[in-house]
Amino acid sequence: MYKSPNKQTIRFIRNGLIGWGKKNYRKFPWRHTKSKFHALIAEILLQRTKADQVLPVYKVFTAKYKTPYSLSKARLAEIKKAIKSLGLLWRAGLIKKLAVVLSRGKSIACDYHELLKLPAVGPYVASAFSSFHCNKFRSIIDSNVVRLYGRLFGVKTGPETRRSKFMYDLANLMTPQKAFKAYNYAVLDHTAAICVSKPRCEICPIKKECRYYFRRGGYYGKK
C-alpha cells in the first residue's frame, strides 16, 4: 500500500539523486543554449523521445533554422524530413505553427500558463522549459519519471498515470523548491541510465529507500 514519503525519505532521495547527478549529468547543447527558441524546440523534440536520439536532429535543425522566421518559411515536408528519425511526425505541423506565431512577434514567456498557449507546448514541455530555461519551480513528469516514482514508492502505474493528480502531487512533493533544476536533471538522467526498464539497482544511489529493490530482496532494512 502507498505511504506518503516522510521528510527524511524525501531528503535522502533528493540528495542521492542530486549527488549522483553532479557526477553523471549528461551534456547536451540545449542545456546551455542562450537561445530560448532553440531551447523550446529541444524540449518539444525531447517529448517522449530519447535525448541521445534527439541530439543529432537538434544539431542539424538549429544550424538550419536559427530564428523563428527562418523556420516559419520552411516547407512542412522539409520539417518532417528533419525530424523523421524521431517519429511522432505530428510534431512537424505544430513546430511550424509555433514558428509562425513567434515570427509574428509573440515572445516566449516564462510563465507556465502562457507557455501552454503556444502551439506544440503541452504540460511536459511547459514544465521542462520553465524549470530548465527560466529557473522557475516546476516538477517534471514523463513516463520514465512515473516509472521511477512507481518503483520507489510501490505504486502501480499505467499509461495514464503521468496525467494523474496523484503523480502531479507526488512529483511536487519530491521536487525541492530551491534545487529543482539540479533535481529535475538528475531525475531525467538517472531514469535514462540507472532506473531504466531493466533497472540497475545494485549501483543505484537511492536503493535504500526503494520499495521495488526491497521487494526483490535487495535490502533487508526496515520497510
Q: How many chain residues touch ligand SF4 (CB under 6 A)? A: 14
As given in the structure block, the three cell numbers for residue 140 are: 517534471
Listed in sequence order, the residues at least 6 apart from 122 whose beta carbon sits closer than 8 Å to its beta carbon are 47, 116
217 conformational bin, left if phi > 0, alpha if psi -120 to 50, beta if neither: left
Closer Cβ to ligand SF4, 37 or 213, answer by number: 213
User: Smallest distance from the beta carbon of 178 to ligand SF4, in angstroms?
Assistant: 23
- From residue 111, alpha-carbon distances to 67, 115, 116, 183 in Å are 21, 6, 9, 20
Block residue for cell numbers 521536487? 175
The residues in 172-211 that bind ligand SF4, with binding defined as CB under 6 A, are 194-195, 199-201, 204, 206-207, 210
For residues 140 and 131, the answer to whether their CB atoms sit within 8 Å is yes
Residue 217 exposure: Cα atoms within 13 Å on the Cβ side: 0
Q: Find the helix packing angle between 90-103 and 76-83, rounded to 10°.
A: 120
Q: How far is the CB of 55 from ligand SF4 (least distance, A)?
A: 24
Q: How many CB atoms lie within 10 A of CB 26?
A: 14
Give the nearer residue to ligand SF4 in terms of CB position, either 71 or 152. 152
State which residue, 62 or 144, has the beta carbon closest to ligand SF4. 144
Nearer to ligand SF4 by C-beta: 20 or 132? Answer: 20
Mask for 137-156, x = binds ligand SF4 (CB under 6 A): -----------x--xx----
Kindly state the smallest distance separating residue 200's Cβ from ligand SF4, in Å: 6
* CB of residue 142 to ligand SF4, shortest distance in Å: 15
Letters for 102-141 (x = contact with ligand SF4 by CB under 6 A, - = none) are: ----------------------------------------
Cα distances (Å, whole numbers) of residue 56 to 30, 63, 77, 81: 12, 11, 19, 13
| First-to-final CA distance of the chain | 12
Provide the minimum distance between the beta carbon of 158 and ligand SF4 in the complex, in angstroms, as a whole number.
17
Q: How near is the Cβ of 223 to ligand SF4 at its closest, in Å?
A: 12
Residues numbered 24-63 forming contacts with ligand SF4, rule: CB under 6 A: none
Q: Which residues bind ligand SF4 (CB under 6 A)?
A: 148, 151-152, 194-195, 199-201, 204, 206-207, 210, 212-213
